[in-house]
Structure 1
Amino acid sequence: MFSPAIRLNNGVAMKALTVLAGTGILTASSYIQVPFYPVPMTMQTLAVTLVGAVLGWRLGAATVVAWLLAAAAGLPVLAGDHLTGPAVFIGPTAGYLLAFPLMAALTGFLAERGWTGKRPLLAFASMVAGNGLCLVLGTAWLSVLVGPEKAIALGMLPFLAGGLVKSALAAAFLKAIGR
């Protein structure tokens, strides 16, 4: 199996520390943002895909869920400050947030099957797939709030180029740490 975290963190305490460190990385990625409306552009998707790819699908998804639980508890772990606590899961970003554990699981699943930094094109494809999943699910939720045309115009199209760039950066990062 690919995941270095799974090999290094056999004990529950080490896995808990790994999840805690991952939530810290995810939180930091939330604060690197470009203001957009109604959904901010952040480095969250880059971090979510990397967490999945590095930790594997189970621990990666668990890390993202822990981060989202911290958000639901009202901790300042997400981008923006207009919604806190459970309210973030009914606002315009809810679909994207709820897609994050699935993104981590997808990239982790693919990494465990060899889509890693040792195969950069497959790693890039994995990251693109994760970002695409997030955009589709997030836009679907946003369309419930603002209508499909506006959701695509505001919640998908502006993020396509950024998703490709972040996917390339994530694949390059995986290649660098895979050495």
Structure 2
Amino acid sequence: MTTILAPAGRGFDPLGISYRSLPIQAALLLIGTGVLALASQISVPMVPVPITLQTLAITMIGVLYGWRLGALTVLAWLGEAMMGLPVLANGAGGLAPFVGPTAGYLLAFPIIAALAGFLAEKDWTGSHMFKSFLAHLSANILCLVIGGAWLGYLIGAEKGLALGVTPFILGAVLKSALAAALLMALARRKTQPVDL
């Protein structure tokens, strides 16, 4: 059974999402929002933007869920935050994060989930380690560009770059490499024969 959320026959689909029913995909969406909430709590406090595992979780959800369900999952998680649930970095929730220094990054999150998922559907993942790394890195850089632009608007371009982009570049590279390695291991595990 297919749904509009995950098109049938997409290339990299280790969870078999393209063949899952709508109720199963809805359950996966809720699980994804929980994963994002947990990843948000693993953070290094910095001002004005903390370092978290959010972007790693977001790009992985985009790849594993596909661009449609991945972006929808991130939007649902952001909706939970808007309703006041403490699902963002350092337990933040409510509307304040959506107008403050982190607003640009929050805006970027569903976009980068969709980008990572779209590139995965074009076979930029799994056993293609370098392409997978580039897909995640592209998404992370896009997040920094959008987030840094908003921060630059608030506090000035030079400060926005110094506080909202530069400190996160190494982390973007490391998280992209980790994501590519995890997905390569998952792809290899899916292709190994099962011994009975």
Q: Same fold (TM over 0.5)?
A: yes
Match of 2:117 in 1: 108
Match of 1:33 in 2: 43
CA distance in 1, matches of 2:13, 2:122: 10
Work out which of the residue numbers 154, 160, 175 in structure 1 matches 2:169: 160
Aligned 8 A contact 2:108 2:142 in 1: yes
The alpha-carbon deviation at position 8 of structure 1 amounts to 4.2
Give the alignment of 1:164-175 within 5 angstroms: 164-175=173-184
CA distance in 2, matches of 1:21, 1:174: 19
The alpha-carbon deviation at position 35 of structure 1 amounts to 1.2
Aligned 8 A contact 1:95 1:140 in 2: yes
User: For 1:112-171, what per-residue CA distance to the aligned partner results, in whole angstroms no more than 9, with x for missing partners?
Assistant: 010112101000000000000000000001011100000000000000001000000011
Aligned 8 A contact 1:124 1:168 in 2: yes
Match of 2:100 in 1: 91
Fraction of identical pairs, as percent? 54
Where 1:178 maps in the other structure, the secondary structure is helix
Aligned 8 A contact 2:14 2:186 in 1: no
Work out which of the residue numbers 132, 147, 154 in structure 2 matches 1:145: 154
TM-score by length of 1: 0.96
Where 2:25 maps in the other structure, the secondary structure is helix
Report the residue type matching 1:71 in the other structure: A
Match of 2:33 in 1: 23
TM-score by length of 2: 0.88
Match of 2:4 in 1: none
Aligned 8 A contact 1:4 1:55 in 2: no
Q: Indicate yes or no: 2:161 matched with 1:120.
A: no
CA distance in 2, matches of 1:161, 1:25: 23
User: For 1:19-39, what per-residue CA distance to the aligned partner results, in whole angstroms no more than 9, with x for missing partners?
Assistant: 001111111100111111100
Work out which of the residue numbers 77, 80, 88 in structure 1 matches 2:87: 77
Report the residue type matching 1:125 in the other structure: L
Aligned 8 A contact 2:126 2:184 in 1: yes
Report the residue type matching 1:47 in the other structure: A
Give the alignment of 1:2-21 within 5 angstroms: 2-5=12-15, 6-9=17-20, 11-21=21-31
Specify every segment of 5 or more residues in structure 1 that has no aligned partner in the other structure, as ranges.
Answer: none
Large movers: runs of 4+ above 3 Å: none
Q: Which has the larger radius of gyration?
A: 2
CA distance in 2, matches of 1:139, 1:110: 23
The alpha-carbon deviation at position 3 of structure 1 amounts to 2.7
The alpha-carbon deviation at position 177 of structure 1 amounts to 1.3
Specify every segment of 5 or more residues in structure 2 that has no aligned partner in the other structure, as ranges.
Answer: 1-9, 189-196
Higher RCO structure (Cα 8 Å, ≥6 apart): 1
How many residues are matched? 177
